Amino acid sequence: MSAPFPSTGFRLTNVSVQLGGKPVLSDLTLSLSEPRIGILGRNGSGKTTLLRLLAGLISPTQGTLTLDGIDPARDRKAMLSRLGILFQNPDHQILFPTVEEELAFGLRQQGQTDTAARAAARAVLANEGRAHWATASTATLSQGQRHWLCLQAVLMMAPATILLDEPFAGLDLPAQSRLTRRLAALPQRLITVTHDPASLSGADRILWLDDGRILQDGPPDAVLPAFTAAMDSIARDDHDTALPT
Amino acid sequence: MLALTSPVQTPFHRLPAGGKLAALAVFTFLLFQLDSPTALALALVAIAALHLPGGWPFAAHALCLLRPLWPFALVLVLWHLWTQDARGGAIVLLRLTAAVAAANLVTMTTRLSDMITVIERLAAPLARLGLPPRTLALAIALTIRFLPVLSDRLTRIAEAWRARSPRRPGWRILTPATLATLDDADQVAEALRARGGTG
Amino acid sequence: MERSLSHIALFAALIAVLGFVPQITLATGVPITAQSLGIMLCGTVLGAKRGALAVLLFLLLVAIGLPLLSGGRGGLGVFASPTVGFLIGFPIAAFVAGLIVERSRAPIGLAAGLGAFVGGVLTLYAFGIPGMALMLDKTLPEAALLITPYLPGDLIKVALTGLITHSLARMRPDFLPSRR
């Protein structure tokens, strides 16, 4: 694997996002540069919107956001070597009928010829003991294998930062531990968005997002116990009867 | 994806796809110029003879592909018996069968990837109208990729319906299926954008 | 650009997948294939241009040898068969249906029904009947007679296209690409 691009990280200045006139993220000012960052929150806390914002898939309603000084929503070309995104559902990420095409696509986007990109894809597969996957149909892979393919397709482009959306959702236990091991070994900066505190115990920094704001920001041994306690208390006292406004 | 290309290798598999398509175009044009039953019957025999190198399984596959023609054959036979114009009926039926069989022969002996290459080459002039060949190839790949995904989605929707209803879902499956396709398309657009878009 | 491409590609796949659905037989016993409904929906949901492109992409996949037409038909042979006029008419039908939905001020369901009728019946038959007349060497009235059994089914599809487009618009009020 080639060495990732040197990266100074994300910088958010007074960022707010409104979707359909509703505020989803309010006045975030953050600097994200640690190697392992977790973004923790309940469903509806705005964490998916934050992920899509960091990914450059949406632009802030107010404020500015940059990765290494570049606006990710504007300059998609510059993002190719800086930012990779692992979506939650592999079926939404895999774009091609065969494994080789899927892996080669990113390299072609980065300007390589079709022949070179396919050769690189086959080399990676061979290196990982998966040479026989090249012509396999992506639809026939198991859930864990599709996750592997999605991550590998992102890694082929050697981005310095990778955004992960609930990376463990839908994986069985062996697949989860394989993925944990694989992620831990990566030289890239990883930003993981999840509702599951257990998966973030190895992080350097955790942001607890609630109602579009940062409720707590710190190391796992400070944030995780507080988050778990708060979730337990919500489950005890609140019967989830209020409709979203 | 199961294409109609025959797994039985024939000498025609090795011919260039562009050449086969051009020959097919000329052959079909000539078929429509002929109006003697004898000449058309000879053309059909010639096409049938071209299936011989593939052996029996290949020919059976070809006959199978001709099956959708039988309702038209039935209509033509009845019609021309009634109008007592057997010669006219024979001309139409022979021409139709020969044209469809010839086209199927090209399909059966050309790999999908070779066809896509020809399409990309034919579509190259469209680049000036804003459709680069790469975008077309990407669209073809995306569609083939999502055939099994959407097929599976449709099965799930039908199962969810049947889990709560004694009746078959019928056309009602179409609304959730279309909705799911719209939503999937949005997700795919983001995944595409995440990896550098269509540019 | 990415959104247009993914909408076109996924709806082309949807048309194909609807061809695998077994024929739906209505209470009256008229069999209808979901595939041609899918073509109408491409127009009324995606709009004229993207709807027509989705149908063209679908036909391209059929032409290069994928058995995606209902009943597992495909390959170049279907373009030499008597129904070729209908195949050529498909993308134009979707275009006309989409254009009517885009231009009409009528409630979306009615506009979609009207679009499906003008596109999926009038326009489609305007291509299908001459195609059949040519391929079977019949006069236009004779060819028209041959396809009349399909008319009741097609009219039911018109009504269904209106109903389905209406409920889609209700579920995704600001979302339907054809009405943006």
Q: In chain B, which residue's Cα lies nearest the Cα of A84? A: B194
Mean pLDDT in residue range C7-15: 95
Residues 118-157 (C) with a CB less than 8 A from some CB of B: 135-138, 146
* Chain length of chain B: 199
**For residue C105, which phi and psi values (nearest 5 degrees)?**
-95, -5
The answer to whether B179 touches C11, Cβ cutoff 8 Å, is no
Q: Is C30's pLDDT higher than 60?
A: no
Determine the distance from the C-alpha atom of residue A85 to the mean position of all C-alpha atoms in its chain, rounded to a whole number.
Answer: 5
The mean pLDDT value of chain A amounts to 90
Give the pLDDT of residue C10: 95
Determine the distance from the C-alpha atom of residue C128 to the mean position of all C-alpha atoms in its chain, rounded to a whole number.
Answer: 12
Mean pLDDT in residue range B83-108: 90
Alpha-carbon distance B197 to nearest alpha carbon in chain C (angstroms): 6
Give the pLDDT of residue C22: 67
Mean pLDDT in residue range A37-57: 91
- Where residue A2 falls among pLDDT bands split at 50, 70, 90? very low
Q: Which tens digit of pLDDT belongs to each residue from C88-143?
A: 999 999 999 999 999 998 899 999 999 999 999 999 999 999 999 999 988 999 99
Q: Is A40's pLDDT higher than 70?
A: yes
Mean pLDDT in residue range A3-27: 86
Helix (H, G, I), strand (E, B) or coil at A235: helix
Tokens of B24: 């097919």
Residues 106-145 (B) with a CB less than 8 A from some CB of A: 138, 141-142, 144-145
Distance CA B184, CA C128 (A): 33
Give the pLDDT of residue A120: 95
Q: Is C29's pLDDT higher than 70?
A: no
Q: CB contact, 8 Å: C8 with chain B?
A: yes
- Where residue C146 falls among pLDDT bands split at 50, 70, 90? confident
Give the pLDDT of residue A133: 93
**For residue B4, which phi and psi values (nearest 5 degrees)?**
-85, 0
Q: Is A245's pLDDT higher than 70?
A: no
The answer to whether C68 touches C16, Cβ cutoff 8 Å, is yes
Q: CB contact, 8 Å: C92 with chain B?
A: no
Q: State which amino acid sits at residue C67.
A: P
The answer to whether A49 touches A19, Cβ cutoff 8 Å, is yes
Number of independent structural domains in chain C: 1
Give percent above pLDDT 70 in chain B: 97
Interface chains of chain A (3 or more CB pairs under 8 Å) = B
CATH (domain of C42): 1.10.1760.20
The answer to whether A179 touches A147, Cβ cutoff 8 Å, is yes
Mean pLDDT in residue range A222-229: 93
- The b-or-e profile of C76-105 (16+ CB within 10 A means b, else e) is bbbbbbbbbbbbbbbbbbbbbbbbbbbeee
- Where residue B130 falls among pLDDT bands split at 50, 70, 90? confident
B144 and C17 in contact by Cβ < 8 A?
A: no
Give the pLDDT of residue A1: 43
Q: Which tens digit of pLDDT belongs to each residue from A76-90?
A: 888 888 999 998 888
Q: Where are the domains of chain B?
A: 1-110, 112-199
Helix (H, G, I), strand (E, B) or coil at B27: helix
Q: Which tens digit of pLDDT belongs to each residue from B33-75?
A: 888 999 999 999 999 999 998 888 899 989 988 888 888 888 8
Q: Which tens digit of pLDDT belongs to each residue from C32-59?
A: 678 889 999 999 999 999 999 999 999 9
Q: Which tens digit of pLDDT belongs to each residue from A160-182?
A: 999 999 999 888 999 899 999 99
Mutate: best of B143, B155, B159, B172, partner C, most C CBs <10 A: B143
Tokens of B48: 């049938």
Complex-level ipTM: 0.89
Give the pLDDT of residue C19: 86
Mean pLDDT in residue range A208-234: 93
Distance CA A36, CA A205 (A): 7
Give percent above pLDDT 90 in chain A: 63
Mutate: best of B116, B145, B149, B153, partner A, most A CBs <10 A: B145
- Where residue C31 falls among pLDDT bands split at 50, 70, 90? low
Mean pLDDT in residue range A176-199: 92
User: Between these two residues, B167 and B80, which has the higher pLDDT value?
Assistant: B80
Give the pLDDT of residue B127: 82
Q: Which tens digit of pLDDT belongs to each residue from C62-77?
A: 999 898 988 778 889 8
The mean pLDDT value of chain B amounts to 87
Q: Which tens digit of pLDDT belongs to each residue from B166-183?
A: 677 777 888 888 988 998
Interface chains of chain B (3 or more CB pairs under 8 Å) = A, C
Across the interface, which of A55, A77, A138 has its CB nearest the CB of B194?
Answer: A55
- The residues, ordered by sequence, that sit 6+ positions from A209 with a Cβ below 8 Å of its Cβ are A39, A40, A41, A45, A46, A47, A50, A215
Tokens of A63: 């404020």
Domain limits for position C18: 2-22+29-179
**Highest mean pLDDT out of B105-119, B147-161, C107-121:** C107-121
